Amino acid sequence: MSTDAHPHAAPGGIGGFTGQADPYRGGDPYADYRAPDPAALPFTALPDLADRRLGGSVVAASDEFFAERENLLLPHPARFDPLAFGHKGKVMDGWETRRRRGTGPGTPLPASDDHDWALIRLGVPGVVRGLVVDTAHFRGNHPAAVRVEASADPDDPGGWTELLPRTPVGGHAANAFAVTAAPRRVTHLRLSQFPDGGVARLRAYGEAVPDPAWLAALGTFDLAALEHGGLAEDASDRFYSPPVHTTHPGRARAMDEGWETRRRREPGNDWLAYRLAAQGVVRAVEIDTGTYKGNAPGWASLSVRDAEGPEPDVWHEILPPTALLPDCLHRLTLPAPAPPATHARLDVLPDGGIARLRLHGTPTAAGMARLTEHHAALSAWG
SS3 of residue 378 by DSSP = helix
CB 147 within 8 A of CB 113: no
How does DSSP assign 109-152, residue by residue? SPPTT--EEEEEEEEEEEEEEEEEEE-TT-SSSS-SEEEEEEES
CB 310 within 8 A of CB 267: no
Count how many Cα atoms sit within 13 Å of the Cα of residue 259 in the half-sphere of its side chain.
27
d(CA 88, CA 86): 5
Please report the pLDDT score of residue 12 as a whole number. Answer: 46
d(CA 247, CA 346): 13
Residue 125's φ and ψ, nearest 5 degrees, are: -60, 150
Residue 224's φ and ψ, nearest 5 degrees, are: -100, -10
Please report the pLDDT score of residue 19 as a whole number. Answer: 84
SS3 of residue 372 by DSSP = helix
- Report the phi/psi class of residue 89: left, alpha or beta, with left for phi > 0 and alpha for psi in -120 to 50: left
Q: What is the dihedral of CA 62, 66, 69, 73, to 10 degrees?
A: -150
Nearest to 297 by CA among 368, 348, 241: 348
Count how many Cα atoms sit within 13 Å of the Cα of residue 61 in the half-sphere of its side chain.
26
Helices (H) and strands (E) in the chain, counts: 2, 21
pTM summary value? 0.92
Tens of pLDDT along the chain (382 residues) come to 333 333 333 334 565 677 889 999 999 999 999 999 888 899 999 999 999 999 999 999 999 999 999 999 999 999 999 999 999 999 999 999 999 999 999 999 999 999 999 999 999 999 999 999 999 999 999 999 999 999 999 999 889 999 999 999 999 999 999 999 999 999 999 999 999 999 999 999 999 999 999 999 999 999 999 999 999 999 999 999 999 999 999 999 999 999 999 999 999 999 999 999 999 999 999 999 999 999 999 999 999 999 999 999 999 999 999 999 999 999 999 999 999 999 999 999 999 999 999 999 999 999 999 999 999 999 987 6
Rg (CA), the chain: 23
